[in-house]
Structure 1
Amino acid sequence: MTFTRSSIPTVSARIGALILQRASGLGMDAGQLMSGTGFDPAWLDDAEARMPLAVEERLWTRAVELTGKPSFGLLAASLIRPGEFDVLDYAVRTAPDLRTALQRLARYNRLLHDLASFEIIPLGEVTRIEHRFEAAGMQPCPPAAEFTLASLVVVASQLGGEPVPAQAVEFRHAARDEVDSYRRIFGVVPSFQAPVSCVVLASELLDRPVPAADPALSRIVTAHAEQLLAACDRQPENLAMQVRRQLAEGMAHGMISLRTVAGQLNLSERSLQRRLASQDTSFADLVDEVRHELARRYMADERLALGEVAYLLGFSDPSAFHRAFKRWTGTTPAAARRMRH
């Protein structure tokens, strides 16, 4: 997915839920942790919710501060259990071997994170897995980077039924804790301030069959993951444009609501709001933009009285239209009409 300057990268709110759960397990108050981060508690009850990447980073930073554990990301990874990341998780865990599991992670990770990517590089006896953000000038915050690489080793060990020690680990950031914290997870002491964050695993381990592999379930899960991935690719078709069209078509028949537009697009109100936010806009912003554009068109038709223009734009009364028009143009509707002569 390509991001422009106006795009807001998002991640699954499941990551936020995981951070909160891990911090709560250390005795932290969830409300205190969420305070000031921008995390909406409603996301905890919405399996499809996504949150801005900036919110995730603030949660990681605050969790480190409140728990007093610089290696909080490593701790969070050590407690990973099956199913915490839904379809992505099951696609990985039903793979026939660790190499296929990594390939699925690389392919389907966009279901969880807009920017994070994995590159799997075979190097003979070892395989290097590099983790980065696909956006110029951006990189994972240190706790998130440590959680991600530690998760690779933890999940690989769970799948294989035995510890999978790393051959080497590298992080872009400086060391954040005592080396023993890293050695307990990875089996080695990482290198720090490296060009890219990565973990290196023995190739022969990656080709071992996963004892609990389930081919039938694997086919079902990966088919579903492919459908979700295709939906991600279609989303930039620009939902905002679809909403604008619905507004323009329905406005003359009375102001149409968020509920109405969401129903026309086969979305819940919450999903529509969330997806518009991911495109750096909102339903209210689009209503205002469409009204402004239509106002210019209607004002050019002098057969329409100003009261009729207000009605066609869905305003409840002419005074509301008057205020909006002055905000858009700096002048009143009547003055704008006079200036045309």
Structure 2
Amino acid sequence: MSTSADQPAQNTPLKGIQAAFVRVLPDAVSARGLSAAPVWDALGLKVDEAPEHTRVPVAGLCRAIDVACGLTGDPLVLIQAAQAVRPLHLGSLGYALMSSPLGEDGLLMYERFQTLLCDELLARHRVAKGLIEVRHEAVDTPLPRDARFWWLLMGARLAFARWVSGRDLVPVRIDIPAPRPAGADAFDRFIGSPVRYDTPDCRELMPADWLAWLNPNADPAMHALMQARTAQQLASQPQGDAVLMRARVVLSERMSLGLEMSLDAVTQALHADTHDAQAITPRQLQKRLADRGLNFKDLIEEVRRERALRLLRDTSQAIGEIAQACGYTEVSPFHRAVRRWTSLTPAQVRQQAQTPGSAPASATSRPA
């Protein structure tokens, strides 16, 4: 059978998760004495090969998760895979994280360099009321509606943090934007705290004192070396795309929190995220948007449209609540916007998504 791994290198997906990370899934299947070839095939990779610069789309990983669970008959294989994640699965970023002096350093470093690992989903944290809140936002694609995908992703994040810190870390709560599947009790026990399903957003809530824990594996020399190497890798990527991806995540978060979404506010948030000495200026952000035929207003419109349609299709939130979560102070402008995007009312978009076999509503007009 032909797979994407048999295609020329230029056909390798540009967006997705690094192959070195997703290989923990077929490796977990092999560890049970089963042939993992179907899982490798679902990932679009040759058996036992995970080239450094190859990415697997999130949709491909979801297919592979379904295959792995079918082969083993046990969704716990995902927890086993998550617990196997080590620095080698994360590249130089993994070794930089492992050697970070403090919990906060590791969190900030992950968010700064995360596109090296995955550029279809981006995480962003804030600290408020004694809690760290991490939100995961999709970039140009819907959030996966398979809870098992989130078991692997969030399980890997938590398991790696436990391994690095040497602590039995227990978050306050996990929110998963997908229906609760069979076998969820096992994941709940692994997490050790409440897990909510079918939520509007994907979130992790953790005690703020995690930021201050000392890393027993801290190694200043290794940390400096691996951080420099990771920064070089990031610098070799097209930076315009990375900045715009972060800008979309910032906008989505600020919409959901009812915060200001001005050009200045977004560029200030981007600077706070990266902690770079040189901040991106409003003019530079506008230039990068213009290079793609967009302006800042267009970007807000795109983020608002994607968020609104996702919440209508994938959640049971009241339409008024969705309007507010997308930055509208009144419902009537939200109705007009949805009709402009899809030629349907919000209720019709939701009804269409709930009708088996119907095609999802698509935007009928995009910013020029």
The superposition leaves residues 194-235 of structure 1 with CA deviations (integer Å, 9 ceiling, x where unpaired) of 111222111112211112211111111111111111111269
Q: Which residue is equivalent to 1:14?
A: 20
Tell me which of 31, 49, 52 is aligned to 1:47.
52
Q: Which residue is equivalent to 2:131?
A: 126
Tell me which of 200, 207, 227 is aligned to 1:195.
200
Distance 1:179 1:120 in 2: 26
Tell me which of 134, 142, 167 is aligned to 1:137.
142
TM-score w.r.t. length of structure 1: 0.61
Tell me which of 154, 160, 170 is aligned to 1:165.
170
The superposition leaves residues 40-92 of structure 1 with CA deviations (integer Å, 9 ceiling, x where unpaired) of 31771633333344332221221122111234433311232332221121121
Distance 1:235 1:51 in 2: 22
Distance 1:231 1:181 in 2: 41
Q: Which residue is equivalent to 1:92?
A: 97
Question: In the alignment, is the contact (CA less than 8 A) between 1:118 and 1:131 conserved in 2?
Answer: yes
Tell me which of 222, 228, 232 is aligned to 1:223.
228
Distance 2:50 2:167 in 1: 34
Q: Which runs of 5+ in 1 are unaligned?
A: 1-6, 237-341
Percent same amino acid among aligned pairs? 19
Distance 2:161 2:202 in 1: 18
Q: Which residue is equivalent to 2:81?
A: 76
Q: Which residue is equivalent to 1:114?
A: 119
Q: What secondary structure, in the 3-state scheme, does the structure 2 residue paired with 1:232 have?
A: coil
Superposed counterparts of 1:262-273, under 5 Å: none
Tell me which of 46, 54, 65 is aligned to 1:60.
65
Question: In the alignment, is the contact (CA less than 8 A) between 1:98 and 1:159 conserved in 2?
Answer: no
Compared CA separation, residues 228 and 166, structure 1 to 2 (3 A): same
Compared CA separation, residues 223 and 199, structure 1 to 2 (3 A): same
TM-superposed CA distance for 1:38, in Å, is 5.7
**Is 1:27 paired with 2:33?**
yes
**Is 1:186 paired with 2:184?**
no
Q: Which runs of 5+ in 2 are unaligned?
A: 1-12, 242-368
Distance 2:14 2:49 in 1: 20
TM-score w.r.t. length of structure 2: 0.57
TM-superposed CA distance for 1:118, in Å, is 0.7
Distance 2:96 2:81 in 1: 21
Letter in 1 for 2:15: P
The superposition leaves residues 78-125 of structure 1 with CA deviations (integer Å, 9 ceiling, x where unpaired) of 232332221121121111111211111112111121211111120131
Q: What secondary structure, in the 3-state scheme, does the structure 2 residue paired with 1:27 have?
A: coil
Question: In the alignment, is the contact (CA less than 8 A) between 2:20 and 2:51 conserved in 1?
Answer: no
Q: What secondary structure, in the 3-state scheme, does the structure 2 residue paired with 1:146 have?
A: helix
Q: Which residue is equivalent to 1:206?
A: 211
Q: Which residue is equivalent to 2:265?
A: none
Letter in 1 for 2:135: E
Distance 2:206 2:141 in 1: 27
Q: Which residue is equivalent to 2:354?
A: none
Larger Rg over CA atoms:
1
TM-superposed CA distance for 1:19, in Å, is 1.2
Compared CA separation, residues 141 and 229, structure 1 to 2 (3 A): farther
How many pairs were matched up? 229
